[in-house]
Amino acid sequence: MTIKKDTEKIIYTKVDEAPTLATYSLLPIIKTFTDEAGVVIETRDISLAGRIIANFPERLVDDQRISDDLLELGELVKKPEANVIKLPCISASIPQLKAAIKELQEKDYNIPSYPEEPKNEEEKKIKATFDKIKGSAVNPVLREGNSDRRVPTPVKNYAKKNPHPMGKWSPESKSHVNFMTSGDLASNEKSITITEENVGDCQIRFINPQGKVTVLKDKLTLIKGEIIDGTVMSKRALIKFLEGLIEDAKKEDVLFSVQLKATMMKVSDPIIFGHVVSVFFKEVFEKHADTFAELEVVPSNGLGDLYEKIKALPPEKQKEIEEDINACYQHRPKLAMVDSEKGITNLHVPSDIIIDASMPAAIRDSGKMWGPDGKLHDTMFFIPDRNYAEVYKEVMEFCRINGAFDPATMGNISNVGLMAQKAEEYGSHDKTFYAQVTGKSAWFQLRARQ
């Protein structure tokens, strides 16, 4: 992030995972140049651990507290002199969030545990704080302004001269993309442009079959000229489609893989992921429903969380559940793997498969994913919502017929433009809800209140 005009300053964001290497390798190089130019470089911490620490100052001792750098940068990006160059950082799923909390607690930070099922007002408050940190917490803040994500010409030219390897495609490839054709978000989407008479605050309501109204969002401010968009996905349609899809994958003898973005779409996609887990292991969840309720097993946290929680059970009960899980594998299609050697499947952790990284990787690998045997196999890619599923479907069909793309000659698409306020995709923000009973869509209950 550079700030022009009177102060020549670069604010360099400290992040987590692989981009951390940039802090230790690229930053000294940048400083070598900027020192000569008289430009000051400051750092801000927007890592997952940093975001957690910044939001619980009242629980920490003085030398543990840090400023809320993301909040500061959020105000800065709204100023015309601020130009943001964003580095990646964790968009945390609940398992990732829990792992970070555990690590901080082991380092004597008095951070509370994440309460998945809050039992009192204090736990509700704690959960609400964590919910601001999880998922795509950074993007909505730092992208509220002009976004320029063009590939620099030297980088593109280098990639063309040194193309990455591409696997060969076969016309006989059985890999393909499947998506819902009804009941999904695309089929139910409705939009309206706010006019003068709609300006003001409105409510989002849910009405059950008995006519009882539940206010989901009490104060949603409508601005003249903005587009308000709403949609809904049917759980019943999703499960019915999933059951047929899993059977098809078994008959076709291909790997089964669900492709989501459970970190960015932090409300919707973990729920969808959870339905995939509970349908794939249907017999296990039905047989052990009472036990799982006691252990607070949440399908949306993945199979890995289930394995972790059953460790609290007596050995014989734990063994029974593990055997029942293994029995499911015998009559289900083989699952795409995240780590074949360790037995970590696509359904272990919601954030292990992120569609905009995993689908391009599969396309580079001849449309295949890794199987339980540690080898690449043709795969059925389930992308529930067709809003973007059809793009991947067309790409895979093109490669199957015409062969792999050539990185030395192919172009790229630039992402340049003004991002929406908060830049939050549907499925991620505080206007996304899970309706546990049948009722009227909340979208149709939008009414302006002056």
Angle made by CA atoms 52, 54, 59, in degrees to the nearest 5:
85
Residues 261-317 pLDDT 10s: 887 788 889 999 999 999 999 999 999 999 999 999 999 999 999 999 999 999 999
* Residue with the two structure tokens 């049948």: 438
- Tell which wins on pLDDT, 412 or 331: 331
Dmax (CA) of the chain: 71
For residues 206 and 444, give the distance between their C-alpha atoms in angstroms, rounded to a whole number.
Answer: 9
Percent of the chain with pLDDT over 90: 50
pTM, 2 dp:
0.83
pLDDT at position 43 is 84
Tell me the one-letter amino acid at 372: P
For residues 174 and 432, give the distance between their C-alpha atoms in angstroms, rounded to a whole number.
Answer: 36
Would you list the domain boundaries of the chain?
2-144, 165-186+234-402, 190-230+420-449
For residues 177 and 355, give the distance between their C-alpha atoms in angstroms, rounded to a whole number.
Answer: 12
Rg (CA), the chain: 24
Residues 125-154 pLDDT 10s: 999 999 888 877 777 777 776 566 778 889
pLDDT at position 307 is 95
Residues 405-448 pLDDT 10s: 999 998 877 766 555 565 555 566 778 888 877 766 544 444 43
For residues 351 and 92, give the distance between their C-alpha atoms in angstroms, rounded to a whole number.
Answer: 8
71: its two tokens: 């909040």
For residues 372 and 59, give the distance between their C-alpha atoms in angstroms, rounded to a whole number.
Answer: 44
Q: Judge whether 305 and 277 are in contact, CB under 8 Å.
A: no
320: its two tokens: 């029974």
Q: Judge whether 405 and 169 are in contact, CB under 8 Å.
A: no
- Tell which wins on pLDDT, 64 or 435: 64
Q: Judge whether 185 and 385 are in contact, CB under 8 Å.
A: yes
For residues 227 and 229, give the distance between their C-alpha atoms in angstroms, rounded to a whole number.
Answer: 6
